[in-house]
Amino acid sequence: MRKLKEFVIEKLILICGLASIFFVALIFLFLLKEGLAVFKTVSPFNFLFGKSWYPISEPPQLGILPLILGSLLVTLGAAIISIPIGVGCAVYIAEIAPPRTKEALKAGIELLAAIPSVVLGFIGMVTLVPLVRSIFHLPTGLTALSGSIMLAFMAMPTIVSIAEDALYSVPKTYKEGALALGATHWQAIWRVMLPAASSGVLAAIMLGIGRVIGETMAVMMITGNAAVIPNSILAPVRTLTATIAAEMGEAVVGSEHYFALFAVGIVLFVISFAINVTADLFLHKRQ
């Protein structure tokens, strides 16, 4: 009797252990199921590189290049802001901050990670957007730049915590060796610690960027949502994620528009998959 019970439980544990694989496969499968239908009306090439996104015109024009470029622009801006600040903060926490400050800073970073993106979007709308508008004398502050700044804040917790981890796990002897040779603390960090932790730091940056590309609500609320190819960081843009979030509510199930939005989902899924697998490889290389 006990044997039977344990047999059942252990099988259940195995099944749940496999659940993650099952769900990833299921997500991909359902995205494909709904998204691939769009390629009956538009070729994959024209879908990815078509310059106009007018999904409800007749006939619909389903080119997502403006959205891809919108995402890229916002992401690039966010990366430029968040990478130096994030890695710098990670070095500060791992190497320089005294223990109590360190704990407080880590808690602060966790706090930032916990703030819902819709709240950050809201705050961006009421503070950052007017600021950007008045600084650059623009007709609207809903620009790629505003999105980049806000998204930088969403990437930072990821970058800081993973990079800090990577620095922390560099063997102490490396640093001690450098210091023993007469290097200053900074030289030890710059020439020894950071190179030794480089693959972890790289993974941190990639995962941070992954978070940015996938971010939806904040970006939708503050980038202005103009589905045109952006010509400046101070122009409104629309990202892949925001397009799905903003338009799926109106798309009729089974329409071209509906399929197209799922195809955008496939693109996002593939991007995040690639980023995560690569980052994972970097993290494992470290060990």
Partner 1 sequence: MKNPYRTQKIAFFFLFLATLLIVIPVGLIVVVIIQKGFPAINWQFLSDIPRQGMRAGGIFPAIIGTIYLVTGAIIFALPIGLLAAIYLSEYSKDNLLTRLIKLAIVNLAGVPSVVYGLFGLALFVVFFKFGASIVSGSLTLGIMILPVIITTSREALESVPYSFREVSLSLGASKWQTIRHIVLPNAIPGILTGTILGLGRAAGETAPILFTVAAFYLPQLPHSIFDQAMALPYHLYVISTQVPNVDEKIRYGTAFVLLALVLFMNLVAIIIRYKFRKKKKW
180-209: contacts with partner 1 (CB under 8 A): 184-187, 189-190, 207
Give the contacts of 87 (CB within 8 A, at least 6 positions apart).
Answer: 159, 163, 201, 204, 205
Cβ proximity to partner 1: between 51 and 185 the closer is: 185
- What are residue 11's phi and psi, to 5 degrees? -65, -40
Report 54-83 residues binding partner 1 (CB under 8 A). none
Least distance in Å: CB of 263 to partner 1?
Answer: 10
Report 210-249 residues binding partner 1 (CB under 8 A). 210, 213-217, 220-221, 241, 244-245, 248-249
Report 18-57 residues binding partner 1 (CB under 8 A). 18-21, 23-24, 26-27, 30-31, 33-34
Do residues 30 and 255 touch, judged by C-beta distance below 8 A? no
Q: Which of 43, 56, 80, 110 binds partner 1 (CB under 8 A)?
A: 110
Which of 227, 251, 205 lies closest to 71, judged by CA? 227
Least distance in Å: CB of 171 to partner 1?
Answer: 22
Question: ∠ CA(211), CA(216), CA(219), 5° rounding?
Answer: 100
Number of residues that bind partner 1 (CB under 8 A): 89
Report 249-268 residues binding partner 1 (CB under 8 A). 249, 253, 261-262, 265, 268
Q: What stretches of the chain adopt beta strand conformation (E)? A: 53-54, 61-62
Helix 144-168 with 99-114: angle, nearest 10 deg: 140
Which of 36, 66, 43, 44 lies closest to 54, judged by CA? 66
Q: Which value, in Å, is the radius of gyration of the alpha carbons in the chain?
A: 23
Cβ proximity to partner 1: between 51 and 204 the closer is: 204
Handedness of CA 47, 48, 49, 50 (dihedral sign): positive
Report 125-144 residues binding partner 1 (CB under 8 A). 125-127
Residue found under tokens 């799926």: 248
93 part of the interface to partner 1, by CB under 8 A? yes
> How far is residue 196 from each of residues 125, 172, 207, measured CA to CA in Å?
40, 11, 19
Q: Which stretch binds partner 1 (CB under 8 A): 49-57, 90-98, 131-139, 171-179?
A: 90-98
Give the contacts of 30 (CB within 8 A, at least 6 positions apart).
Answer: none
Least distance in Å: CB of 134 to partner 1?
Answer: 18
Q: Which stretch binds partner 1 (CB under 8 A): 13-21, 41-49, 62-70, 72-80?
A: 13-21
Q: Which of 54, 80, 116, 231 binds partner 1 (CB under 8 A)?
A: 116
Cβ proximity to partner 1: between 16 and 232 the closer is: 16
Cβ proximity to partner 1: between 30 and 232 the closer is: 30
92 part of the interface to partner 1, by CB under 8 A? yes
Q: Which of 80, 118, 131, 180 binds partner 1 (CB under 8 A)?
A: 118
d(CA 188, CA 200): 18
ω before 59 within 30° of 0 (cis)? yes
Report 158-177 residues binding partner 1 (CB under 8 A). 160
